[in-house]
Amino acid sequence: MRKSVLLFSGLLLAGLVVCSFVWRSANVYAATTPPSSTDTIIFPGETHFKNIRQLTFGGDNAEAYWSFDGKYIIFQKTNPKEGIACDQVWMGKVPETAGEKFVPRLVSTGTGRTTCSFMYPDGKHLLYASTHLGSADCPPVPDRQKIKRYIWPIYPEYDIFKADTSGRIVQQLTKTKGYDAEATISPTGDKIVFTSMRDGDLEIYTMDLKGKKVKRITNMLGYDGGPCFSPDGKKIVWRASRPQTEAEIKDYKELLAQNLVAPTNMEVWIANADGSDVHQVTRLAQANWAPNFLPDGRIIFCSNHEYPRGFPFNMYTCNTDGSNLEKISRDKGFDAFPMFSPDGKKIVFCSNRNNGGTRDTNIFIADWAE
C-alpha cells in the first residue's frame, strides 16, 4: 500500500480525500507523508504521553493491538530489507522494564498478504485476514500510472482465519465470495466485528468467535470499515465514506466492481453493537479514520482535516457526538492506530516520528495522562 507523496497530495488538492488505507494499514498514509525533519519520540504539546517508548525500528509497522491481559501486542509488518515483501502478522511481549527488549515473532503463514490481526481472550489464539489461499505470493498492487488516481485494492482473496500463537491456522472463519477483513474482538469476548463484501457493498458485520451467528450492522452505501468495540462491548465505532451525488455514487460502484475503492472523504461513525442508533460522529471533511475508544467512552481517531495538502495525520479525541475535539499528537508526518491497554493506563500507536528521515512507520507505547 505504498503511495507517492505527489500523487496523494495532488488528489487532495483536487478535492479528494481518504482509510486504514484510510484502511487499516499504516502503509497507506505513512508512505504518503514526507519524512519528518525532526527525530524525536515526543513533540511539544503531547501532554497526554508519559514515559513514551519506541518498540520497532525500521519498515512499516502498523495496527498494533493489545492482548486481553495487556502483556502482548500483535501487529502487521512489511520490511523488504528483511525479506518481508508485504504485510505479515507479528506478536511480541511488551517490555516491563527499560532494559527489556521488544522481540516480536512471526505468527502468520508468511505467505500472501495479511491485515487486521487481533488476540482472542484466551491469549492462546489470534485472528487475522489473509490472501494466502489465493496465492502464496503478495497480491499485485493497482497500476496507478494507468488508473491515475489514488485507490486501494479490496482483495477478494481476503478471508479471516483463527490461528494459535505458534502460527498454526486452526479455523477459517469466513468463506464467502469477496473481501472479508478488518476484524476485532469485543472486550466482553463474545463477538467479532468485521468488514465484508458478501452482500455487494463494504459493510460491517458481527459474528461469534467461531464464525457463526453472522449479523449485518450497517446498511448505507459506501465503504464501512475498521470497526472497534467500546470498552463495555455495547457500541461499535468505525470509519465510513458516504457518496452522495449521482457522480460520486457511480464512481464508487464502478470502482467496487473492480475490487477497488477510493477511500477519500472518510468520517467517524458510531452505533450500538446490535446496529441500532447509527449516527455520524465527525464532520471535519478530508480523512478521519482509525477510530477507537478511550477508557471513559470517548473516541480517539486519526485525521488530516487541519491540513489542505493532506498531511500531517494526527490523533484527536472527541465525545461520541463529535464535540470537545482535542488534538493529541503533534507529529509532522503520521500518527494513527491508537489503542488503549485493557486497564486504560497505556496507549499504543504507530508513527513516522524518530525515523531518521525515512518513511518508516514504527510502534510506540506510552503511559496515558489525563
E strand or H helix at 235, and its extent?
A: strand 235-240
The one-letter amino acid code at 4 reads S
CATH number at 314 reads: 2.120.10.30
Cis geometry, peptide bond prior to residue 104 (ω within 30 degrees of 0): no
Distances (CA, A) of 213 to 106, 124, 191, 266, 334: 30, 23, 9, 29, 37
Q: Which domain holds residue 26?
A: 5-368
Handedness of CA 213, 218, 223, 225 (dihedral sign): negative
Cis geometry, peptide bond prior to residue 22 (ω within 30 degrees of 0): yes
Tally of structural domains, the chain = 1
φ/ψ of residue 253, rounded to 5: -70, -40
Per the CB < 8 A criterion, the answer to whether 308 and 33 are in contact is no
**Per-residue cell: 44:** 511539544
Of the candidates 115, 138, 132, 49, the residue with the CA atom closest to the CA atom of residue 347: 49
**Per-residue cell: 72:** 502482548
pTM value is 0.91
SS3 363: strand
Of the candidates 204, 273, 193, 192, the residue with the CA atom closest to the CA atom of residue 232: 273
Q: For residue 37, what pLDDT is reported? A: 52
Q: What is the pLDDT of residues 280-294, one digit of tens each?
A: 999 999 999 999 999
Q: What is the pLDDT of residues 75-96, one digit of tens each?
A: 999 999 999 999 999 999 999 9
**Of 4-8, 176-180, 322-326, which gets the smallest average pLDDT?**
4-8
Q: What is the pLDDT of residues 9-38, one digit of tens each?
A: 333 323 222 233 433 333 444 444 455 557
